[in-house]
């Protein structure tokens, strides 16, 4: 009974003290005092019954009541109020009760207030997490909308550019025919330059269309039987002139799985290998080395393309697979596509990743970091499934016919398979 009397005795000064300290303005103070009186009633019930659950409803309301401003500014106002309640309860008890009454009341009230503080903190954290999750969701939605608009722009721009480019190609070819008949070598040189520019622009437009198709899940694959060794041999031949011009060494080693017949889109896989290899050439100084190796893994064949180039910084190793990802300062890039640190729209590696993932594989990069002096180099890993069946029965039948061919003796009409240890 003495405890009940002590609670009654300090109620009014307790409410006045806390409301005066924490609420500014008479109107705000009245409303805050009402909340404090409600809290105190529940506190009395909790003290007399020993059940802290009496406070749960008001603690829940307070813990989930932060305003948008509180949440945005990370203000934990309710937790602060509960902390001040503990301090003010001690002061009020000492001022209005004798020592025995004060100790008895504080021994009963402080544990409940401390428990209430922990509950409020948990509720506030839940509210804050929900707020942050909501904001992240909104941001993610905006980013997705922005990315979708960007993809649409790329698609529209690519197709819009393709039409005038076709006209330019047509007129250029007619001019070339006229110049050839007149044997004007001076004009022919100019037309050759125009043709080179057209070809470069054609590649950029095709890349824009490819990345748009990948973004919209419209990339279609023409699955057929293939051997990795054939694609690597073609790659070596196509890049021989480029490698010689850069005075680089290009090595393709034999490895387990390169002669294994798998099932995929040979044109697209070649495009992926070409993009990664030309990227290695671009970021490897003259006289450097590009090496292609690999290995056979359970269910996959791994193709490893390594260079002795300038490497890639850790922070860029994930962004290089994003659209328009660029390495280094773009204003310092040279204009040549395979010249050292040559420029480009930053679409080759995103397209490569899209092609590899469309085949059910994956691609990743390893590098100790960017350094133009130490030349840490870069290694790309490509995993391709060793798929040996076709979903289309007609193609599957054709695939079975290919399986009867021994690539050691019959490869593209040659007596021996292509050598996979070329150095250009």
Same domain, 22 and 99: yes
Is residue 82 domain-resident? yes
Domain range for 117 = 2-142
What confidence score (pLDDT) does residue 1 get? 60
| Span 380-391, pLDDT tens digits | 999 999 977 655
Is residue 422 domain-resident? no
Written as six digits, the tokens of 368 are: 């100790």
Question: d(Cα 13, Cα 113) in Å, to the nearest integer?
Answer: 17
Same domain, 254 and 394: yes
What confidence score (pLDDT) does residue 351 get? 92
Looking at the DSSP bridge assignments, the partners of residue 225 are: 263
Helix 56-63 vs helix 77-96: crossing angle, to nearest 10: 130
Same domain, 208 and 241: no
Instruction: Give the CATH number, domain containing residue 306.
Output: 3.30.565.10
Report the number of distinct structural domains present in the chain.
3
The percentage of residues in the chain with a pLDDT greater than 90, rounded to a whole number, is: 30
| Span 115-157, pLDDT tens digits | 888 888 888 888 878 878 888 888 888 877 777 766 776 766 7
| Span 57-94, pLDDT tens digits | 888 888 777 654 444 444 446 778 888 888 888 999 99
Higher pLDDT: 346 or 276? It is 276
Written as six digits, the tokens of 27 are: 């109107």
* 254-258, 316-320, 393-397, range with the lowest pLDDT: 393-397
Q: How many residues does the chain have?
A: 424
Give exposure, 349-387, as e/b (b: 16+ Cβ within 10 Å). Answer: bbbbbbbbebbebebebebeebeeeeebbbbbbbbbebb
Same domain, 264 and 399: yes
Sheet with 362-366, strands from edge to edge, namely 249-252, 289-297, 300-307, 378-385, 362-366
Same domain, 313 and 397: yes
| Span 17-33, pLDDT tens digits | 888 887 665 555 677 78
Same domain, 173 and 193: yes
- Of 163, 187, 215, the position where a domain reaches its end is 215
Is residue 268 domain-resident? yes
Is residue 414 domain-resident? no
Q: Which residues contact 402 (CB under 8 A, 6 or more apart)?
A: 225, 261
Model confidence at 398: pLDDT above 60? no
Question: d(Cα 90, Cα 105) in Å, to the nearest integer?
Answer: 9
Rg (the chain; Cα; Å): 36
Question: d(Cα 348, Cα 273) in Å, to the nearest integer?
Answer: 10
- Of 116, 142, 168, the position where a domain reaches its end is 142
Helix 2-22 vs helix 77-96: crossing angle, to nearest 10: 130
Is residue 418 domain-resident? no
What confidence score (pLDDT) does residue 24 get? 61
Q: Phi first, then psi: give them for residue 262, nearest 5 degrees.
A: -120, -175
pLDDT class for 402, splitting at 50, 70, 90?
Answer: very low
Higher pLDDT: 129 or 417? It is 129
What confidence score (pLDDT) does residue 344 get? 67
Written as six digits, the tokens of 354 are: 């899209």
What confidence score (pLDDT) does residue 35 get? 84
What confidence score (pLDDT) does residue 71 get? 42
Is residue 424 domain-resident? no
What is the average pLDDT across 94-122? Answer: 88
Looking only at the bridges linking them, the beta strands covering 224-227 and 261-264 are: antiparallel
| Span 332-344, pLDDT tens digits | 444 456 677 776 6
pLDDT class for 300, splitting at 50, 70, 90?
Answer: very high
- Of 215, 244, 268, the position where a domain reaches its end is 215
Same domain, 71 and 162: no
Model confidence at 330: pLDDT above 60? no
Is residue 353 domain-resident? yes
Q: Which helix (H) or strand (E) holds 225?
A: strand 224-227
Model confidence at 411: pLDDT above 70? no
Same domain, 100 and 240: no
- Predicted model pTM: 0.55
pLDDT class for 177, splitting at 50, 70, 90?
Answer: confident
Alpha-carbon distances, residue 56 vs 95, 130, 203 (angstroms): 29, 20, 67
Is residue 369 domain-resident? yes
């Amino acid at each position: 009974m003495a405890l009940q009397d002590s609670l009654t005795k300090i109620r009014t000064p307790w409410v006045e003290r806390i409301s005066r300290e924490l609420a500014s303005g008479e109107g705000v103070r009245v409303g805050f005092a009402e909340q404090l009186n409600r809290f105190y009633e529940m506190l009395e019930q909790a003290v007399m019954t020993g059940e802290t659950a009496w406070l749960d409803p008001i603690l829940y309301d307070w813990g989930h009541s932060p305003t948008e401003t509180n949440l945005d500014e990370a203000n934990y106002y309710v937790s602060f109020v509960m902390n001040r309640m503990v301090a003010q309860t001690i002061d009020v008890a000492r001022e209005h009760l004798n020592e025995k009454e004060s100790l008895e009341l504080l021994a009963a009230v402080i544990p409940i207030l401390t428990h209430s503080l922990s509950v409020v903190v948990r509720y506030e954290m839940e509210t804050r997490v929900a707020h942050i999750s909501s904001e992240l969701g909104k941001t993610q939605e905006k980013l997705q909308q922005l990315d979708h608009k960007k993809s649409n722009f790329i698609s529209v721009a690519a197709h819009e550019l393709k039409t005038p480019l076709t006209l330019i190609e047509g007129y250029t070819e007619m001019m070339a025919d006229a110049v050839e008949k007149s044997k004007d070598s001076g004009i022919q040189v100019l037309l050759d330059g125009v043709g080179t520019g057209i070809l470069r622009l054609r590649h950029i437009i095709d890349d824009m269309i490819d990345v748009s198709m990948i973004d919209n899940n419209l990339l279609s694959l023409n699955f057929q039987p293939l051997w990795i060794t054939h694609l690597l041999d073609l790659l070596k031949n196509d890049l021989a002139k480029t490698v010689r011009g850069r005075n680089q060494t290009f090595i393709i080693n034999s490895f387990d799985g390169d002669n294994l017949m798998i099932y995929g889109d040979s044109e697209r896989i070649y495009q992926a290998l070409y993009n990664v290899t030309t990227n290695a050439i671009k970021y490897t100084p003259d006289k450097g080395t590009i090496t292609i190796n690999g290995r056979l893994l359970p269910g996959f064949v791994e193709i490893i393309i390594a260079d002795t180039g300038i490497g890639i910084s850790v922070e860029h190793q994930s962004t290089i697979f994003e659209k328009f990802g660029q390495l280094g300062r773009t204003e310092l890039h040279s204009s040549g596509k395979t010249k050292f640190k040559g420029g480009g729209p930053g679409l080759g590696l995103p397209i490569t990743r899209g092609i590899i993932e469309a085949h059910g594989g994956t691609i990743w990069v390893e590098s100790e970091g960017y350094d133009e002096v130490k030349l840490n180099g870069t290694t790309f890993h490509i995993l391709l499934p060793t798929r040996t069946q076709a979903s289309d029965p007609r193609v599957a039948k054709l695939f079975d016919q290919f399986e009867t061919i021994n690539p050691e003796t019959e490869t593209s009409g040659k007596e021996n398979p292509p050598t996979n240890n070329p150095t250009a």
